């Protein structure tokens, strides 16, 4: 696996450079209303999608951590996840649900696929990251997700200032919910960093599950509320120039590759850090048990 890292790093660099070339190139059309400033969308939106994906993986890994306390809990969690996937797909295709709950412009097949991702990711994460590795995955994805969410919060006002005339709209539900999402996961990282309690892992996992519930609110806020953000142009009945969409997806691919590399490096570093801590703990424990033997020998 270590030999693959340089190859993936080179490919990611090529993807990022190519995405930048497309985003700023003349072949990508200029927006008729916003002008060239709209091109920040090729960094703002892929960063948001990447952060959402990382928080989703953190959500799945956190559930795995909470369920790992007991074998009975693990079995129950597996059946619950399977039931969520099956029932979710069936309910999505019911005519009554499609008429009343499925948002305009959204395809039931897309919703069903998203629901199926929950059990698929749950079993995939449990298989690839057994034992304490799933907790390392949760920490890693939270850290990298916060970085990409920070990019979203920085590029958003930069884009908003020339378009809306203001840096920040306090009443905008998407802006506010995104900031809340960022604060929740920053709190998660602070808890993991500075708490030494034996229950830190479980408390952090519960906080992560709570924070993940804010992700759907951020995504669907422009469907349910009138905000400064425009109505969705992807998956919401809107339209986007195919050339713009191509660049947007290419940028997202580059960001996904970059996020994967950062997560991979951080995951290996965290594993090494925990191994060193465990070695120091064993060494300290060995020294502590050896000291009382000295006076016992003298007493004899």
Calculate the CA dihedral of residues 249, 51, 275, 130 and round it to 10 degrees: -80
Rg (CA), the chain: 23
**Residues 258, 262, 264, CA angle at the centre, nearest 5°?**
115
Low-confidence ranges of the chain (pLDDT < 50): 290-300
What pLDDT is attached to residue 63? 93
The DSSP line for 189-212 is HHHHHH---TTHHHHHHHHHHHHH
Residue 5 backbone phi and psi in degrees, to 5 = -60, -50
The pLDDT of residue 190: 95
Count other C-beta atoms under 10 Å from residue 81's C-beta. 20
For residues 161 and 209, is the Cβ–Cβ distance under 8 A? no
Q: Cα separation of 248 and 80, whole Å?
A: 36
> What is the structure's pLDDT at 295?
47
Reported pTM: 0.88
- 68-82 pLDDT, tens digit per residue, is 888 888 899 999 999
- What is the reported pLDDT for 166? 82
Q: Are 250 and 19 in contact (CB under 8 A)?
A: yes
């Amino acid at each position: 696996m270590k030999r693959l890292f340089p190859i993936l790093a080179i490919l990611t660099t090529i993807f990022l450079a190519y995405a930048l070339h497309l985003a700023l190139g003349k072949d990508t059309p200029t927006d008729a209303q916003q002008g060239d400033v709209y091109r920040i969308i090729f960094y703002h939106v892929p960063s948001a999608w990447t952060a959402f994906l990382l928080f989703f993986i953190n959500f799945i890994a956190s559930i795995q951590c909470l369920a790992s306390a007991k074998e009975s809990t693990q079995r129950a969690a597996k059946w619950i996840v399977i039931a969520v996937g099956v029932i979710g797909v069936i309910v999505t295709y019911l005519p009554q649900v499609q008429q009343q709950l499925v948002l305009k412009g959204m395809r039931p097949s897309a919703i069903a696929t998203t629901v199926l991702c929950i059990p698929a990711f749950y079993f995939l994460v449990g298989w690839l990251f057994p034992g304490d590795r799933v907790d390392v995955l949760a920490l890693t994805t939270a850290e990298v997700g916060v970085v990409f969410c920070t990019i979203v919060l920085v590029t958003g006002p930069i884009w908003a200032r020339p378009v809306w005339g203001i840096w920040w709209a306090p009443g905008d539900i998407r802006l506010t919910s995104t900031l809340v999402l960022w604060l929740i996961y920053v709190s998660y990282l602070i808890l993991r960093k500075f708490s030494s309690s034996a229950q830190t892992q479980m408390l952090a996992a519960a906080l992560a599950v709570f924070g993940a519930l804010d992700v759907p609110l951020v995504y669907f806020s422009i469907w349910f509320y009138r905000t400064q953000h425009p109505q969705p142009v992807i998956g919401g009945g809107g339209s986007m120039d195919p050339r713009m969409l191509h660049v947007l997806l290419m940028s997202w691919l580059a960001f996904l590759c970059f996020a994967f590399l950062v997560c991979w490096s951080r995951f290996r570093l965290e594993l090494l850090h925990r191994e060193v801590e465990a070695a120091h703990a064993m060494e300290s424990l060995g020294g502590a048990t050896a000291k009382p033997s000295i006076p016992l020998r003298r007493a004899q």
